[in-house]
Structure 1
Amino acid sequence: MNDIEEDNNKWAASSDATTFSEKASLSEDLDSCLPENLEAEELQLALNKEANGDELSKAINKCRDLILENEQCSFERKWLVRHLIELRLRLQEYKEAMEDPLHPRNKNSGVSNRTVKGHHLKLQPLLRNASYKYCDHCTGTIWSVVQAWYECEDCGYACHYKCIASILRECAHVIACEKGQYELNICPEVGMSAQKYQCAECKAPLILTAPSGITSCLGKLFLPDKEWSDVKKCDYTGLYYCSACHWSSSAVIPARVVHNWDLTPYLVSQASLQILRITANRPLINLEKLNPRLFSLVQELNLVRRLRQELQGLKKYLVVCRKAKEEHLLWKCDRPHLIDNTDMYSLQDLLDTQSGDLLTKLHNLVEDFSTHVKINCEVCKGRGHICEICQNEEILFPFVSTAYICDKCNSVYHKNCIARVRDLCPKCDRIKERLLKESENNNNGE
C-alpha cells in the first residue's frame, strides 16, 4: 500500500494550484470524463472491462509511463494519477479474490449476502460515480469502484469484505427493536473506571491524551500526542469510545429534548448515531407521560397537540365514510401516528415542531379533512349536531375547538352555550327526570 500512498501524495501535490471548488468539480469529472487524447489508451488501461492480473499489471505500467509523458498539473496527468491508484487497488482486490474462494468478486463463490451480528449485509455493485464512504469497522475509505464492500439493509452499516469477520457492533435496527425506547437519562455517564479504561465497543485500551511537554507528578514526561489514542464521550449513552468507534458525529439527544427542550446536536458514537437515525421517525416518545409541563412552556408544542386532537376527531368521520375511502384522504398523512393518538411523538416530530414544519403540515391536513366533512360530503354533514341550547341551525361538529361534549350522554353544544346554563346538560336533565318518573310509577304500582 506504500505505492498507493505515494500516488495519493502525487495527486495532492499536482492539485496545489487549484482552488477547493475546482478540486471538488474536478474529482467528479475525473471519474466520468476520459480526456480526449487518452481515448486511444482506454483499453490498454483496462478500466472498462474485467481484467486479469497480467492485464492489470500491464495497465499499471502503461499508466505510469503516461503520467511521465504528460505535463505537471495538467488535467490528463491528474486523471492518470487518480486511475493509477484505482488500478493498483483493483489488482490487490484481484489477488485477494484468487487467494480466497469465498471472496465476493470470485465468480464461483456465489456469495452476495451475509448476516453478521444482526446486520443483513448486501454486496454492493462496483460504482463508477459513487460518493465517498468509510468502513464502519476499520474507518478506512471504501473505494467503491474497485473494492468489494457490504452495506446493511437495515441500519446502513458499511464495511470492506475483509472486515466482515471482525465486525463487533450489533445492528442498530436489532438493538432499537429489542429495547423499544430511547435512553431517557441525560448523558448517563458512569466513568472510565467502570469501563476498565476500555472502549465501550471494541474494548481497545483508552488512555487520556496529554499535551507534549507536560510532566507528571513523578517528573516523567508524557508521550507525544500522536502516540496516544483519543478518548471521546458519547452524549447519548454516556460511555467512552476510541476514535475508531467515535467519529465526532453529532445528533439531537432525545433525553435533552424531553426534559429541557434542548435541540442542540451533541457528539455521539457511530453506534448511537445509527440508532438515532433509524428511530428518528418512530413514535417512541410519550410526552404526555414523560414531561406534560412541556406543553405549557412551548407554545408550538401546545398548538401541535390541539391540532392532533382535532385530527383524531376528524378521523372518526373519515374511517366510516365511503367517499373518503375512495379518495384515500387518510393517505395524505405520511405519519399515521399523528392522527391515531395525541400522546406519542417521534424525534423528527419534535424537530419539525421547533422549525414550524409540523404545524404547517397539520394545518393543511385539518383544512383538507374539514373541507370534506363540513362541505363536500353530504353523509358526513348529516352526522353533525345542532346545539340544543341556542337552537342555531349551524351544524356543529365535536372536533371543533368551540364545541363542548358531555362526558355522560355525548351530546354536543357550544362552549359558550353550556357555560350560560352552568354546565347543566339539557339531555342529562331529561334523562334524570324520566328515570325519576319511572321510579315513582313503579313505586305507585306496587
Structure 2
Amino acid sequence: MEYDERLARFRQGLVNPFDRGEDEASTESKGPSKAEVRPELFSSEPRIHSSDRTMDLGLAEDHFSRPVASFVASDIEQLKQAIEECKKLILELPEHSEKQKDTVVKLIHLRLKLQELKDPEEEEPNLRMLLEHRFSKEKSKSVKQTCDKCSAIIWGLIQTWYTCTGCYYRCHSKCMNLITKPCVRSKVSHQSEYELNICPEIGLDKQDYRCAECRTPVSLRGVPSEARQCDYTGQYYCSSCHWNDTAIIPARVIHNWEFDPHKVCRSSMRYLALMISRPVLKLKEVNPLLFNFVEELVEIRKLRQDILLMKPYFLTCKEAMEARLLLQLHDRQHFVENDDMYSLQDLMDISTGRLSCSLTEIHTTFAKHIKLDCERCQAKGFVCELCKEGDILFPFDSHTSVCQDCSAVFHRDCYYDNSTTCPRCARMTGRKQEPFDADSV
C-alpha cells in the first residue's frame, strides 16, 4: 500500500524525475509545481544534505571505488576537507577507543586515496633511465618495501614504485626526480676491487662534518643529523644514507678470518651484495699466512688443484662433454680456470663447511669418471717408470708426484728416493740429440 500511495503522489506531480533542464530560479517562483521533485517520494531513506557530503566521502564504506569519469579538482578538495574533519574527530574521541582506531584507519585510507588522485598510475611509464639506473615499474602489491629515497613505506596497493634492475634501488615514482645517487652496478663494472683496509676512518672533520654521500650536515651529537659510520668505507653518513644495515666485511675476513656482520651504509651494502660472487680476492698476495691458520683453506686449495688437473681429461673426452661434467661448477666457474682466486661467497662457504662438502662430492664424481667409468680416460693414465709396479697413476692421486718439466706421474716415494733425473725427460732429451749425432757422422 505504501508503494501505491507514493506512485499516486508521483503521478499527481506530473513531473519527470530525469528532466533536469528546469532553471532553479523558475522552480522557486512556481512553488510546489512539477519542477519540485522531492526525494522522499522515491526513497524511504533520509535525504543527505550537501554539507554532509564531505564527511560521507571520507567515512563511507565505498570510498575506495574509482569513478567512471576522470577526477576533477573538487574531488581532491573534498578529500582534503574530509581528512581535516577526520583529524578533528580523532582528537575528540576517547583515547584508545575502538571508534578512534577505526577513524584512524579511515584517515589512512583517505590519505592514500588522495595520493592516488594526485599521482594516477596510468600515466607512469614501465621503464625509466636515471643516473645509470634502469628503473622498472613493479607490479607487486606488497606493502613491506621501503623507499630508499624518502625512507617511507611503499604502499604497493595504490602507489606506483620502481626498482633498479642493476642495484635493486627502490623508490616511489614521486621520488624519482629527487634521486642523486648513481647506480652501484656501474661502480662494480668499473671498480671490481674491495677495500682491504679494516674501517679506514679519516675523521668527521676531514668530511667537513657532512655526509660522505649526500653532503648533508651531520655531527656525533645528532644535531642537526646523526653521523653514522660505515665499517666498510670508514666514512660517516646521515640517517638517510645509512640505515644501520649490516654486512660481512671482506677486509675483516681476509686479515682476521672474521665473519661477524658490521654496520654499513646503503651504497656499501648494495656494492657488497653485487660483489659477493666475484672472484677478486687473491689470498696468496693479500695474506698468504692465512693458509697456515685455516686448515679448510688448504683442503679447498688441494681440491681445486686436482680439478684443474682433471680438466684436460674432460676437454678431450666425448662422453664427458656430452655429460657436461664441468658444468657442475657453473656457479663457481673460476674453479676450472685457476686455483688462487676466491670470492667472498667462497670464503663464507668455507667457514661454514658447505664448500668443502660440495666440492668433495664433485671431485669424487670427476675421479670416478676418469678412473672407472671411461675407458678413454683410463688409457691416459701413467705407469711409474721408476719402479714399474703398481696400478695406473693419475696426476690428481694423493700418493703421486708430477714432473714439473714433462708432467710424467710417479709414485711419490719413488720420485723423491730416486736421485737420478726423470726417465721421460732423459728419453726426450736423447731424441732431440739424435739428429745432431747423425749430422756429425
Q: Could you tell me how far apart the structure 2 residues matched to 1:263 and 1:279 are? A: 16
| Structure 1 equivalent of residue 201 of structure 2 | 189
The Cα RMSD (Å) is 3.1
State the partner residue of 1:161: 173
1:83 Cα deviation after fit: 6.1
Higher relative CO (CA 8 A, sep ≥ 6), structure 1 or 2?
1
The superposition leaves residues 181-228 of structure 1 with CA deviations (integer Å, 9 ceiling, x where unpaired) of 11122222111122111101111001221xxxxxxxxxxxxxxx6x54
Q: Say whether 1:180 aligns with 2:202.
A: no
- Paired letter, 1:123: K
Once the 2 structures are TM-superposed, how far is the Cα of residue 268 of structure 1 from its aligned partner?
Answer: 0.6
| Residues 91 and 435 (structure 1), Cα distance of their counterparts in 2 relative to 1, 3 Å cut | closer
Q: Tell whether 2:238 aligns with 1:242.
A: yes
- Equivalent-residue separation in structure 2 for 1:322 and 1:188 (angstroms): 52
Pair 1:91 & 2:113 matched: yes
Q: Which amino acid aligns with 1:164?
A: M
Choose the corresponding residue for 2:310, options 311, 314, 317.
Answer: 314
Q: Does the CA contact (< 8 Å) of 1:89 and 1:147 recur in 2?
A: no
CA distance, structure 2, for counterparts of residue 203 and residue 181 of structure 1: 25
Aligned-partner residue type, residue 114 of structure 2: Q
Which amino acid letter does the alignment assign opposite residue 201 of structure 1?
E
What pairs up with 1:113-192 in 2 under 5 angstroms?
A: 113-127=127-141, 130=142, 132-192=144-204
**Distance change (3 Å), C-alpha of 1:201 and 1:51:** farther
Q: 1:17-416 residue pairs with structure 2 within 5 A?
A: 44=62, 46=64, 84=106, 87-97=109-119, 105-107=120-122, 109=123, 111-127=125-141, 130=142, 132-209=144-221, 228-333=224-329, 334-416=331-413
- Superposed CA deviations along residues 98-152 of structure 1, whole A, max 9, x for unmatched, are xxxxxxx442x3611111121111111251xx25111111111111122111111
Q: What do the CA deviations read for 1:244-287 (whole angstroms, capped 9, x no partner)? A: 11111111111121222222211110110000011111111111
SS at 1:201 equivalent: coil
Q: Could you tell me how far apart the structure 2 residues matched to 1:367 and 1:275 are?
A: 36
User: How far apart, in 1, do the equivalents of 2:282 and 2:64 lie?
Assistant: 58
Report SS of the residue matched to 1:350.
helix
| Higher deviation after alignment, 145-154 or 402-411 | 402-411
CA contact (8 A) 2:246 2:264 kept: yes
Contact 1:89 1:146 in 2 (8 A): no
Q: Check whether the contact 2:228–2:238 (CA below 8 A) recurs between aligned residues.
A: yes
Gaps of 5+ in 1: 1-40, 98-104, 210-224
Distance 1:50 1:124 in 2: 25
2: CA distance, partners of 1:375 / 1:81: 76
- Between the aligned partners of 2:301 and 2:308, the Cα distance in structure 1 is 10
User: Residues of 2 paired with 1:385 and 1:92: CA distance?
Assistant: 80
- For 1:268 and 1:43, the matched residues in 2 are separated by 45
Distance 1:43 1:403, change over 3 A: farther
**Cα displacement (A) at 1:440:** 5.3
Q: Is the 8 A contact 1:186 1:255 kept in 2?
A: yes
CA contact (8 A) 2:405 2:425 kept: yes
SS at match of 1:181: coil
Q: In structure 1, the residue corresponding to 2:134 is in which secondary structure?
A: strand
Q: How far apart are residue 439 of structure 1 and its match?
A: 5.1
Which runs of 5 or more residues in structure 2 are unaligned? 1-58, 91-95
| In 2: Cα distance, 1:49 partner to 1:382 partner | 80
Name the SS of the counterpart of 2:239 in structure 1: coil
Residues 86 and 145, structure 1, Cα contact 8 Å, conserved in 2: no
The CA distance in 2 between the partners of 1:309 and 1:352, in whole Å, is 18
CA–CA distance in 2 between the matches of 1:276 and 1:193? 27
- Cα offset, 1:298, TM superposition: 0.9
Question: Do the aligned residues in 2 keep the contact of 1:251 with 1:266 (CA within 8 Å)?
Answer: yes
Identity %: 35
Deviation at 1:431, TM superposition (A): 3.7
Q: Note closer, same or farther for the CA distance 1:94–1:438 as it changes in structure 2 (3 Å cut).
A: closer
Quote the residue 1:421 is aligned against: 418
Cα deviation, residue 241, structure 1: 0.3
Pair 349,51 (structure 1): closer, same or farther in 2 beyond 3 Å: farther
Q: Secondary structure at the match of 1:379?
A: helix
Contact 1:126 1:146 in 2 (8 A): no
Matched-pair contact (CA < 8 Å) for 2:216–2:238: yes
What amino acid is aligned across from residue 430 of structure 1 in structure 2?
A: R
Superposed CA offset, 1:331-371 (max 9, x none):
22221112221111110100111010011111011011111
Q: TM-score, normalised by structure 1?
A: 0.75
Cα pair distance change 1:371/1:84, threshold 3 Å:
farther
CA contact (8 A) 2:401 2:409 kept: yes
Q: Measure, in 2, the Cα distance between the counterparts of 1:247 and 1:51.
A: 43
Larger radius of gyration: 2
CA 1:110–1:436 in structure 2 vs 1: closer, same or farther (change >3 Å)?
closer
Q: 1:52-71: per-residue Cα shift (whole Å, max 9, x none)? A: 7559969x89xx8xx9xxxx
Alignment-derived partner of residue 15 in structure 2: none
Aligned partners of 1:172 and 1:274 also within 8 Å: yes
User: How many matched pairs?
Assistant: 369
